[in-house]
Amino acid sequence: MEIIGLTCSCCGATLELNNYNKIIRCPYCDTINILSDSIRYDNSLEDQSVAERTDFTLNRSLIHKKIIEILDMPDDLPLDVYDNTEVKALNKLLIPAYMYTSIVCSGLVQYDQGVDREYVEYENGEHSIKSVVKHRTEWIPMSISISDDFSFLASGNKQYEEIILALYGVNTSLNFSKKMQSEIYDEKYENFDLSDSDIVQRLIKPIVVDKLNQKAHSILKKENTRNIRMIDSTIMNCKVKKVYLSVYEIVIRYFNNSFSFYISNDGSRYAVDELPCDPIRSERINNLKQRISELRSKKSYSLFIAGFLFSFCGLITFSHIYSFPLLGIGLFSVFLGWKSNRDSIREVNKLQLDLEKIFEDKMLAKNSFITKKVALKGVLSDLSGDATAF
């Protein structure tokens, strides 16, 4: 599908395409505009064939290795996670997606521009009236046209929208192979969700508005402006094609809990919602991090400053009766400040060692499992002894 921004051949007004009509009458000057077949608007994605998809590039050994890497991600993972995790399922998903390219959009942005105005006020002096020059900011309504172009990828199935966003995001370049759907035998399919026929408005329009808003704020933020707001946006050009994204779905079980996560076709990206965790280790890590943060935020030089002030006052009033007490209080305050900060640093260092010990235990558990070369239980258990799987 390609969306073309059309204007009247006579007056230049914007024309609205009406389904598949080739003849459009301009609502402003009544000029008849005839469209060629090459620029007619096609709002039906159903007729487009799926001829491209990303390739599955990981073998079972590499997938097993990726699972171990993912299990190692959380700091609070149970130390027995490798021995008690079972890989219940390894699914190959072909998730349908819309690949939008060559999106050209523009929008009208209104804002208030601050202008410095100089004015004179007259004040009554003691013997005469004097003039005083003052300044005020006058806010003037302004507008600017913003344009941008970009590409993005959107899931063709609502169930996998968040997964596709996590794996591929916006402006992702993908390598596609020319493989028809009929040539694939062992993958699991999902249908395109076209329940909302206005795909452009549902998927593209919000991203267009967000992109233009970001660009408008980027351009105007350095100026003396306020109330920046997008009042209109237009998609002038957009191309879209349907593709299939090859994604590995991994289902694991740790004791009585099941977890699912997803790996991109080349293994470079993960989409993970939740993994096994040890609540005791989690609480311990959180307490240590919170205490370290508190100690660092409490670090203060107020006693140092107070001490130096008292000492300085004592020195400049050296011959005065209060000079020695002031000097003594100042030096004692400096000592207390130094001791307080030293004790805080020592405690922070000790807590960091405790935190590192927890992370070291996690690393030792992983290394111990890898050294044994015994595969995870379940559908990949036959990989035991395969060095490439660890």
Give the list of residues 6+ apart from residue 5 with CB closer than 8 angstroms, or none.
Answer: 14, 234, 235, 236, 237
Mean pLDDT of the chain: 76
Tens-place pLDDT, residues 92-127: 888 888 777 777 888 888 889 888 888 887 777 666
Q: Where are the alpha helices (DSSP H) in the chain?
A: 60-71, 81-84, 161-168, 199, 205-220, 279-298, 302-316, 323-372
Asked if the model's pLDDT at residue 332 lies above 80, the reply is no
Q: What is the SS3 string spanning 144-170?
A: EEEEEEEEEEEECCHHHHHHHHHHHCE
pLDDT score at 178: 47
How many angstroms separate the Cα of 191 from the Cα of each of 85, 176, 271, 299, 310?
32, 19, 21, 58, 78
Residues facing residue 250 across a β-bridge: 90, 261
More confident residue, 94 or 363: 363
Instruction: Say which residue the tokens 């077949």 belong to.
Output: 37
Q: What's the pLDDT score for residue 54?
A: 79
The pLDDT of residue 379 is: 93
Distance CA 69, CA 369 (A): 12
pLDDT digits (tens, 9 = 90+) for 243-277: 888 889 999 999 999 999 999 888 888 888 889 99
Mean pLDDT calculated for residue range 322-343: 70
Reply yes or no on whether the pLDDT at 193 is more than 50.
Answer: no
- DSSP result, 166-190: HHH-BS-----EE--GGG--S-EE-
Which of 36-40, 67-71, 224-228 bottoms out in mean pLDDT, i.e. has the lowest? 36-40
Out of 12-21, 257-266, 326-335, give the one with best mean pLDDT.
Answer: 257-266
- Closest C-alpha to 159, from 97, 230, 99: 97
Please state the pTM of the whole predicted model.
0.62
According to DSSP, residue 223 is labeled S
Taking 50 as the threshold, does the pLDDT of residue 304 lie above it? yes
Rounded distance between C-alpha atoms, residue 189 and residue 175, angstroms: 20
Residue entry with tokens 């044994």: 372
Q: Which H or E run includes 252?
A: strand 225-254
Per-residue burial over 20-40, b if 16 or more Cβ lie within 10 Å, else e, is eeeebebeeeeeeeebeeeee
pLDDT in tens, 272-294: 888 999 999 999 999 999 988 88
